[in-house]
């Protein structure tokens, strides 16, 4: 039995997908109207968190980051002795700390890279998670059986693939590709908001503005909580961004004054990443049996180099791009 606590965009989508794949899954949300909407959608929804967790083999915490600690403390005494807990939070270090504080030992962190700017159960859908890349995080104390249970859910009923990482590698990576982009999108919206040509600018806005600001339409409290929880990784990147933009602004001012300056370097530096985005993904896989925490450590090392778990069965994972295994 899978219990999903929190039925917003990700939790609702996860419950829809798992149930649609034939998994025995039950959900719960603090909000009574959300529970009613989920039942109306044909899902199994408990009336209390205790009813949801009772007898569950795997409990997924899909609540907002700022509610994670309180939810962990609520759920901890309700868990069976062998129950595994995972989450879908966008920051991993602080979530693991919350689990430790709550006394939850069979925890495996997880994060689907599949969010949108929308929120709430009404935005959830059964096709959001299939095909998504997940990060599943481990540390020195991660239980192999618990880890395998989470992989089986993600690669099985949810139809995803997994980058196995440490919490630190995850939080550093998502600062670059998710959290800082949210900040930059918000800043661009703010620049337009306070501009004297706001209305005409919005009237002229097309693909560049739409693509660059989409995630800035996310609930600002969610974005604030995300970047605050990952502040140690986000702040240095923002300082790098500010330094790079200041250098570009100075170069543009010098060029406008007729000086011979190198502006092209700013736009040429990302060339290696631009090239990578067009490369085909290898389909070759390596089979690895999970028997010890050392195997998990090796997977995390491989994950940091780009290896991806594509399937799991009978304790054996199939890993794509596993050159370091």
Listed residue (197, 192, 189) closest to 223, CA to CA: 189
Q: Is the pLDDT of residue 86 over 70?
A: yes
pLDDT digits 0-9 by tens, 107-125: 999 999 998 888 999 999 9
Q: Residue 321's pLDDT is what?
A: 87
- Which residues partner with 110 through β-bridges? 136
Tally the residues of the chain: 325
CATH class belonging to 2-167+284-320: alpha beta
Q: Residue 187's pLDDT is what?
A: 98
Q: What is the pTM of this model?
A: 0.94
Q: Is the pLDDT of residue 200 over 70?
A: yes
Distance of alpha carbon 104 from its chain centroid, rounded?
Answer: 21
Determine the average pLDDT of the residues in 302-311.
96
Q: Residue 164's pLDDT is what?
A: 98
State how far the Cα of 25 lies from the Cα of 296, in Å rounded to an integer.
27
What's the fold here for domain 171-276? 6-phosphogluconate dehydrogenase C-terminal fold (1.10.3660)
Q: Whose structure tokens read 């998994």?
A: 23
Q: Is the pLDDT of residue 324 over 60?
A: no
Q: How many CA atoms lie within 13 A of 52 on its CB side?
A: 25
> CA–CA distance from 42 to each of 12, 20, 33, 52, 312 (Å)?
12, 10, 15, 16, 29
What is the phi-psi region of residue 258: left when phi exceeds 0, alpha when psi lies from -120 to 50, beta otherwise? left
Determine the average pLDDT of the residues in 147-153.
98
Q: Residue 283's pLDDT is what?
A: 75
Residue spans in the chain of domains classed CATH 1.10.3660.10: 171-276
pLDDT digits 0-9 by tens, 153-177: 999 999 999 999 999 999 999 999 9
Residue 98 contacts by C-beta under 8 Å, 6 or more apart in sequence?
Answer: 68, 69, 72
Q: Is the pLDDT of residue 62 over 80?
A: yes
Residue spans in the chain of domains classed CATH 3.40.50.720: 2-167+284-320
Task: Classify burial at 179, counting beta carbons within 10 Å of its beta carbon; exposed 0-12, middle 13-18, buried 19 or more.
Answer: buried
Q: Residue 28's pLDDT is what?
A: 98
Q: Is the pLDDT of residue 325 over 70?
A: no
Determine the average pLDDT of the residues in 228-239.
98
Q: Is the pLDDT of residue 252 over 90?
A: yes
Q: Residue 163's pLDDT is what?
A: 98
Q: Whose structure tokens read 């795997």?
A: 58
Q: Residue 188's pLDDT is what?
A: 97
pLDDT digits 0-9 by tens, 257-305: 999 999 999 999 999 999 988 666 667 899 999 999 999 999 999 999 9
């Amino acid at each position: 039995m899978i219990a999903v606590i929190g039925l917003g965009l990700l939790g609702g989508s996860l419950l829809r997908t798992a149930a649609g794949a034939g998994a025995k899954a039950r959900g719960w949300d603090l909000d009574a109207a959300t529970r009613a909407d989920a039942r109306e959608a044909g899902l199994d929804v408990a009336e209390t968190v205790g009813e949801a967790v009772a007898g569950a083999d795997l409990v997924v915490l899909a609540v907002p980051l700022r509610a994670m600690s309180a939810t962990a403390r609520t759920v901890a005494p309700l868990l069976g002795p062998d129950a595994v807990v995972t989450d879908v939070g966008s920051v991993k270090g602080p979530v693991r700390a919350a689990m430790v504080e709550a006394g939850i030992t069979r925890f495996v962190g997880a994060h689907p890279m599949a969010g949108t700017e929308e929120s709430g159960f009404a935005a959830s859908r059964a096709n959001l998670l299939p095909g998504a890349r997940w990060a599943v995080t481990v540390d020195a104390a991660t239980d192999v059986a618990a880890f395998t249970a989470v992989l089986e859910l993600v690669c099985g009923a949810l139809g995803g693939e997994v980058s196995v990482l440490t919490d630190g590698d995850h939080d550093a990576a998502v600062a670059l590709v998710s959290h800082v982009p949210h900040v930059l999108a918000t800043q661009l919206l703010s620049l337009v908001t306070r501009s004297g040509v706001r209305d005409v600018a919005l009237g002229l806005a097309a693909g560049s503005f739409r693509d660059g600001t989409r995630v800035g339409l996310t609930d600002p409290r969610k974005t604030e909580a995300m970047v605050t929880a990952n502040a140690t990784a986000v702040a240095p990147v923002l300082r790098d961004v500010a330094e790079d933009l200041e250098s570009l602004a100075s170069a543009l001012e010098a060029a406008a004054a007729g000086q011979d300056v190198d502006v092209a370097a700013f736009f040429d530096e990302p060339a290696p990443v631009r090239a990578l985005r067009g490369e085909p993904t290898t389909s070759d896989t390596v089979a690895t049996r999970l028997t010890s925490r050392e195997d998990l450590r090796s997977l995390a090392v491989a994950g940091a180099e780009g290896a991806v778990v594509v399937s799991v069965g009978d304790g054996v994972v199939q890993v794509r791009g596993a050159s370091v295994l």
